Amino acid sequence: MYKLLAYQILAHLSIVVILFNFNLLLLLCSIVVYFLMISVGISAGYHRLLSHRGYDAPNWFKVISLFIGTLGLNASALVWAAMHREHHAYSDKENDPHSPAVMGVFKTYFGVITYQPKLRFAKDLLRDKTVMFFHKHYFKINIAYDIILFLINPLFVVYLHLLPAAILWHAEAAINVFTHMPWLGYRNYDTDDDSRNSQVLAILVAGEGYHNNHHQSPKNINFAHNKNEFDITAKLVSLIRKDT
């Protein structure tokens, strides 16, 4: 995981490059790449498809979501799913791997770096050849992507990979921390944890901000349960999911 930390430090340092090489069009492209990472890669792929098995997806979408999630520099799908399933098993209790009430804000914010995967939570994924391919070749894929971008235009490495990945890091950390703060947001359900919904975070992280709704029914692919809530990732999933 320290390789991941080094890559993220590099991603955050890339902001210095942007200060001296600002390009509005490339910045807009960065935002698009970020939303692909958070929605297609993490939310639809890592989270709803693999962690909770909330729907069946065509193999082409599974591969694309794993690839985009891998570029997010947050964790492999195997590690991410194991950590997330453990979080649901012990939500805001002693063994929760990223609860601010248990771990504190700092350790929760940066917890994925020191997390030792408990793979008993992801036995099914250990048998998934596609998941294991992206896990075993995680850093090779990221380095190859950066080399290709660099050969096209060195600034593409910053704007089309490192900056979006840095933003994704903080988006994911914000979900882990702020949607489990008892003073933030609102609750639709009286779950046995401190999960909260946040309209602001839901917009910024493609529907993931409705965390209390999600903890009430983890397999439900739609995190928006009220008419004033909107989950863009659920709309995406509804378009590509296999009929069961």
pLDDT tens sequence across 91-144:
999 888 888 888 888 778 877 677 777 889 999 999 999 999 999 999 999 999
Q: How far apart are CA 217 and CA 221, in angstroms?
A: 9
> Which pLDDT score is estimated for 76?
94
Give, as one character, the DSSP assignment of residue 39.
Answer: I
Q: Which amino acid is at 113?
A: I
> Which pLDDT score is estimated for 243?
61
Q: Tokens 């990221």 identify what position?
A: 142
> Could you tell me the two tokens for 140?
């090779």
> Could you tell me the two tokens for 99?
């609860």
Backbone angles phi, psi at 153, to 5 degrees: -165, 120
How many Cβ atoms are within 10 Å of 196's Cβ, its own excluded?
Answer: 23
Within 8 A by CB and 6+ apart from 212, the residues are 179, 185, 186, 187, 188, 189, 191, 195, 196, 197
Q: How far apart are CA 77 and CA 80, in angstroms?
A: 5
- pLDDT at residue 9 greater than cutoff 80: yes
| Tally of residues, the chain | 244
Whether the Cβ atoms of residue 68 and residue 206 lie closer than 8 Å to each other: no
The mean pLDDT of the chain is 93
Reported as a single tens digit per residue, the pLDDT across 180-216 is 988 888 999 999 999 999 999 999 999 999 999 999 9
Tabulate helix, strand, coil % of the chain (nearest 5).
Answer: 65, 0, 30
- pLDDT at residue 244 greater than cutoff 50: no
> Which pLDDT score is estimated for 12?
92
Reported as a single tens digit per residue, the pLDDT across 25-67 is 999 999 999 999 999 999 999 999 999 999 999 999 999 999 9
Please count the helices (runs of H) and the strands (runs of E) in the chain: 15, 0
> Which pLDDT score is estimated for 182?
81
> Could you tell me the two tokens for 20?
């001296």
Q: How far apart are CA 160 and CA 137, in angstroms?
A: 20
> Which pLDDT score is estimated for 1?
64
Give, as one character, the DSSP assignment of residue 197.
Answer: B
> Which pLDDT score is estimated for 104?
81
Q: How far apart are CA 8 and CA 196, in angstroms?
A: 28
The mean pLDDT of 67-94, rounded to a whole number, is 94
Q: How far apart are CA 8 and CA 13, in angstroms?
A: 8
